Amino acid sequence: MRHAIAVFAAMAIFAVAPLRAQTPAPENLAAARQLIEVMKATDRFKALLPVITQTMKPVIVQNRPDVEKRFDALMPLFAEAANTRVNEVTDKVAAIYARIFSVEELRQITDFYNGPVGQKLIASQQAIATETLALGQEFGRELAADIQTRAQEELNKNGKAN
C-alpha cells in the first residue's frame, strides 16, 4: 500500500512540474516585447482603463455628489496606478509569447504585423471586437430563448411545467 501511495505521489509531482512557468530566454523575451509593441497591445490595455474606472464610478459614488467630486479628483492617481498595472500585465503577456514561440517565430509574426495586412488587422481590432461581442451577446440571447422554449415544451409533454 505504501508503495502505491509513493508511486502515486511521484506521478502527481512529475505531472505538475511541467505546469510551472518557465523563465523564457532573454532573447525570446526581447522579441516578444517587440511583437507586443508592434501589435499595440499595451495601447489596447490602456484604452480599457477609462472604461473600467467609469464603470466603477457609479458603484463607488452611489449618487453622492461629495463622493463624486472626490472620486473625480482621484482620477489621476487611479490612472497612474493603472498604468503601472498595464506595464505588469504587458510583461506577463510578453513572457507567455516568449515561452510559446521561438525567437524566429516571434520575428516572423512581428514582420507580419509590420506589413500592410498586419497593420490593417491592428487598425481593425476594435471594430472586430465590438462586432464579435455584439454577435456573441445576440447568440447567447437566442440560445437561451431556444433552450427555454425547448425545456418548456419537453416539460409540458410530461405534464410537469407550470
Given pLDDT bands bounded at 50, 70 and 90, which one contains residue 110? very high
Residues 84-109: what's their mean pLDDT?
Answer: 95
Closest CA to 35 of 118, 125, 109, 86: 109
Name the pLDDT band for 107 (thresholds 50, 70, 90). Answer: very high
Does the CA dihedral 52-55-60-65 come out positive or negative?
positive
Comparing 7-21, 42-56, 146-160, the range with the smallest average pLDDT is: 7-21
- Number of CB atoms found within 10 A of residue 138's CB: 10
Residues 6+ apart with CB under 8 A from 38: 110, 113, 114, 118
